[in-house]
Amino acid sequence: MRKELGILSLLAVLCILVAALNPQFLSSANIQNTTRLIGTYGIFSIGVGIVIVTGGIDLSVGSMFALLGVLLSLMLTQWHWPPLVAVAVVLILGALLGGIHGLLITRLGLQPFLVTLCGLLLYRGLARYIAADVVQGFGAGTGFEWLRDFTTGSIGQVPMPFVLMMIVAVVMWVLLHRSVYGRYLFAVGRNEEAARYSGINSRNVIASAYVISGSLAAVAAILLAFYTNSVSPSSHGNFYELYAIAAAVLGGCSLRGGEGSIIGIVAGTALLQVLRNLVNLLDIPSSLDFAVMGAVILIGVIVDQVLRPKRK
């Protein structure tokens, strides 16, 4: 809880600071856009965070956005598949890819870093090949207007991705923090061997985390594709896996596994987006975007390490 409070107060301080320096931060257009991004990023960051809780890592989500985005565009605009079918295919594919990662990691004993790094390379390459390295768009949206309006729309003033993220967050919070399955996730992350001695099927628990990550990445892929409205196969989703890992770590997940919380991951995501927003609003050259994020994360983890209660 201490970590969540830390990150939430950092977030609050940052918001007040930016708002004071540039009142535009609080304009409804800016808030809408920022929360829209927090929603999209939050969904896949939660998935990656679950994987991190089991002591693994998922580097493949950014490339999955490109591959699934390209496929979504082709299915809707070229092959004219019914939108619901296209969405279902994307979701199933995401879960399937995650499942393959999970199987490779738990059945063959490959390292999560390697498996998902290969995914990162593989899906990026496939996306570029399938799209012939040409930017894919959604045109006028003929035939799937409702889908586009749904993903880019709002409920009242609240952008749909944020609404979806809140739903995902609540479901995953219950799953991670209140269910038997969630306890097993923490247990295998803490010490897979001891979990096994307690009769937990640790291989299946770990593999399932990758399925969750792949599925949530697929949801985010649809939102992101319609948000950008065009999918450039070589750059769409670049580095997004790192946003997710940064958000999870900022939110209190330990890369050693066994620690983390949904509230922390969401707060971490929000913090990253507010930082990007700050770069924009405070006229910091946008080329410094990454540098600002890197510096803030570094300061955050240093402070956390220094304030951590000393252990024997």
Partner 1 sequence: MLEMSGISKRFPGVTALDSVKLSAGRGEVVALVGENGAGKSTLMKILAGIYRPDSGTIHFHGKPVSIRSPRESSQLGIGIIHQELEVIDTLDVAANIFLGREPTWAGALKLVDRPRINSQARQVLARVGMAIAPEALLRTLSTAQRQLVEIARALSQNAELLIMDEPTSSLTLSETERLMHVVADLRSNGVSIVYISHRLDEVERLADRVVVLRDGRNAGELRRGEITKERMVQLMVGRDLKAFFTEPAETRGDVCLELRGLRTERYAAQPISLSLRAGEILGLAGLIGAGRSELAQTVFGIDASMGGEVLLDGALLNIRSPQDAIRHGIYLVPEDRRNCGLLTGMSVRENITLPNLSRFSAGGWVSRPRELAGAEAACAELKIKAASVEVAAASLSGGNQQKIVLAKWLSLKPRVILFDEPTRGIDVGAKAEIYQLMRRLAAEGVAILMISSDMEEILGNSDRVAVMHEGRVTGVLQRSDCTQEAIMQLAVA
For residue 179, the minimal CB distance to partner 1 (Å) is 5
**Closer to partner 1 at the Cβ: 198 or 229?**
198
Please state the closest distance from residue 206 (CB atom) to partner 1, in A: 14
- Phi/psi for 154 (5° steps) reads -140, 160
> Is residue 195 involved in binding partner 1 (CB under 8 A)?
yes
Closest to partner 1 by CB, 148 vs 183, is 183
* Tokens representing residue 272 in the block: 């990253």
**Least Å from the CB of residue 312 to partner 1:** 10
Start-to-end CA span in the chain (Å): 22
User: Smallest distance, Å, CB 67 to partner 1?
Assistant: 33
Q: Which of 51, 104, 172, 200 lies at the binding interface for partner 1 (CB under 8 A)?
A: 200
Four-point Cα dihedral 80, 132, 225, 78, nearest 10: -10
3 binds partner 1 (CB under 8 A): no
Rounded-to-integer distance, Cα 2 and Cα 280, Å? 30
Residue 238 exposed, middle or buried by CB count within 10 Å (0-12, 13-18, 19+) = middle
d(CA 75, CA 9): 44
Residue 196 lies near partner 1 (rule: CB under 8 A): yes
Closest to partner 1 by CB, 148 vs 196, is 196
Total residues contacting partner 1 by CB under 8 A comes to: 21
Q: Which is nearer to partner 1, 200 or 222 (CB)?
A: 200
Residue 194 binds partner 1, judged by CB under 8 A: yes
Query: Shortest gap between Cβ of 288 and partner 1 (angstroms)?
Result: 38
Q: Which stretch binds partner 1 (CB under 8 A): 117-125, 128-136, 191-199, 273-281?
A: 191-199
Angle at 33 between CA 4 and CA 70, to 5 degrees: 100
CB atoms within 10 A of CB 97: 27
Of residues 142-181, those binding partner 1 (CB under 8 A): 174, 178-181
Query: What separation in angstroms does the CA of 127 have from each of 47, 108, 117, 210, 236?
Result: 22, 26, 16, 21, 10
Candidate segments 12-20, 52-60, 81-89, 199-207, binder of partner 1 by CB under 8 A: 199-207
Choose between 197 and 290: whose C-beta lies nearer to partner 1.
197
201 scored as a contact of partner 1 (CB under 8 A): yes
Taking the mean position of all CA atoms in its chain, how far away is CA 301?
A: 20
Match 């600002």 to its residue by tokens: 292
Query: Strand 136-137 and strand 158-159: pairing?
Result: unpaired
Q: Hey, which residues between 61 and 90 contact partner 1 (CB under 8 A)? A: none
Choose, by CB under 8 A, the member of 9, 27, 111, 198 that binds partner 1: 198
CB atoms within 10 A of CB 105: 24
- Residue 43's SS3 state is helix
Residue number with CB closer to partner 1 (87 or 195): 195
Q: Does 239 bind partner 1 (CB under 8 A)?
A: no
CB 46 within 8 A of CB 182: no
Q: Is 199 in the site for partner 1 (CB under 8 A)?
A: yes
What is the rounded distance in angstroms from the CA atom of residue 276 to the CA atom of residue 41? 13
Binding site for partner 1 (CB under 8 A): 174, 178-181, 183-184, 186-187, 190-191, 193-201, 258
